Amino acid sequence: MNNIVIENSKDGNPIPIINNISLHSKYAPYKEGEKISEIYLRSGNNKKDIIIFGLGFGYHIIPLLDIFKKIYVFEPLLEIVEKIKDYPQFSHLLDSITIITDINAIPKTENKDIFCLNSVKRFFPDYFEQLQHKIESFQLPKVKISPDEIRVLIDFPIYGGSLTTANYVKNAFTKLGYITEFVENDIANNLLQEILKIEDKNHSAIMSSKLTELMSDLFWYKFQVFQPHVCFFNAQSPMTPHLLRIIKEKTSAVSVFWFVEDYKRFNYWKNYSNEFDFFCCIQKGDFFEILRENKNKNFAYIPMAADESIHRKIYLNSSDREFYGSDISFMGAGYNNRHLLFSQLLDYDLKIWGTDWGHNPIFKDVLQKNGERISIEESVKIYNATKININLHSSIGDDYLEQNGDFINPRTFEIMACGGFQLIDKRSLISELFNENEEIVTFDSLQDLRDKIDFYLTNEDERKRIAKNGQRKVLNNHTYKHRISKIMKILQERIPQFSTNINNEKNELKQKLERINDPELFKFMESLSPEKRMSTEMIIGEVKKNQGKFKNYEVIILALETFLKNI
């Protein structure tokens, strides 16, 4: 949370102070602005337009108003934009510049240099890096690559919640039209469980490491057969740093890792995060600083999502509605903070679903299905049938709520995609995704939660209005298809060789076909979808299936075997 106050400099001019740090000189901000703008101009930046990172109160921008035809200012802190409007002396400045608060709204420009207000960069280094990547992407030649030309190999976790996410990722890639293959590692789960039972922890760790090496070898085998352009790893995927280095050093494939866990609780990512070409995470802020210190170069905030084909509004018959429905419910594991909170809500019509609750006798009358694990299909019924779904993130502390909790759990998006209404504990990143009291409602204490439960139980129309708005927002902006599309877009922007390599592969195939110089074959190859011409064997197989279409079938097969080796 940024605390912003406005103070006067020694020469009487207003300056914004963020968390006790001034964005401009506390003595003479106009003179400081002239000095740093002059330094920028001396570096030879004389384009018609200019991109400036950080608005502050504009003292560094005013000297440039008569020099540049277009001045675009990216300001990551909306409160600064509002506060500067309170001072009439800056009205000419605001009329002369274009203020942008969304990276994607940055216009294409020839000027690849960014004039940066360093004090703002200090607070928002991640935004500055995103802006740099955006500007750099304008300078790159655009290579149009469609999804059905991109092969993606997905590595599944052995077990756990990330396994479910991996399935959603696979579904999204498939729906978007990518050529998708995957390595299902759950076959190793039984063996892993036996290894974890070994009392000698050192021996258990050694065997677990060997199992990881074995699954990495399996991935590498499938890699060589499938020849992917993208290797997509999920949290808890069993891979070794050695495997990642082989992919990076010996192939042209791009490796991506989506870490969908809390970095403050799980730190295994440190062992290999900088081995990936692209690292995605569900937190930012302090985590971005840690990633930089860990020498990560390409990373981005990619929050969780919903699978719209699974998490959806469904019809419930009367027996299902009675069984799964209640005034309020919670679906999830019984962490300590959840035991504390829900023990204070037993006077409501409450149903609790999930594991790790049964040892507490206080919940015996509200715990459903004897505390069994709830399937995805059943969770959808719960979200649909419940009037108020409570979404309480787990906390490692002793309080009901996690202090300064940031990441947003998948339940948030899944409830909303089902058209369900939820009350969620306040999270620092939630306002970036949803509009409070319009699409989602938060609570910040037990009493606040109780007050809102009482209000929304008696205001059905308002409850349904917010639920409908939330569902619309998720389906339009927060599905796994949206997340995968964003990841693939960033890959093409930040790793230019990714698109270039795929385009070179297409051109190589085209050149070899031209060497064969058979119009019938060329026309036939164009009719094949990309996944049917990934290898020599596939192409020859398709020709053999359709040999009746070729007059010189035997000659074409011989030519293919001669010219299409090592595609």
What's the pLDDT band for 567 if we cut at 50, 70, 90?
very low
- Contact (CB, 8 A) for 290 and 263: yes
Q: Give pLDDT tens digits for 460-492.
A: 999 999 999 999 999 999 999 999 999 999 998
Rounded to 10 degrees, what is the CA torsion of 169, 174, 179, 182? 40
CATH topology assigned to domain 4-138: Rossmann fold (3.40.50)
DSSP codes of every residue in 219-276: HHHHHHHH--SEEEEETT----HHHHHHHHHH--PEEEEEE-S-TTT--GGGGTGGGS
With 80 as the cut, is the pLDDT of residue 166 above it? Answer: yes
Element (H, E) at 299: strand 299-301
CATH superfamily assigned to domain 147-301: Response regulator (3.40.50.2300)
| pTM for the full predicted model | 0.76
- C-alpha dist (Å) from residue 169 to 66, 178, 181, 315, 495: 50, 12, 12, 26, 21
- Domain boundaries along the sequence of the chain: 4-138, 147-301, 318-478, 496-563
| Structure confidence at residue 58 (pLDDT) | 94
Q: Give pLDDT tens digits for 354-401.
A: 999 988 999 999 999 999 999 999 999 999 999 999 999 988 767 888
Q: Give pLDDT tens digits for 168-227.
A: 999 999 999 999 999 999 888 888 889 988 988 898 889 999 999 999 999 999 999 899
| Structure confidence at residue 389 (pLDDT) | 98
- Count CB atoms within 10 A of the CB of residue 387: 19
Task: Please determine whether the domains at 4-138 and 147-301 fall in the same fold group of CATH.
Answer: yes
What average pLDDT does the segment 347-351 reach? 97
Q: Give pLDDT tens digits for 226-284.
A: 999 999 999 989 999 999 999 999 999 999 999 999 998 888 888 888 899 999 999 98
**Which numeric CATH code is attached to 318-478?**
3.40.50.2000
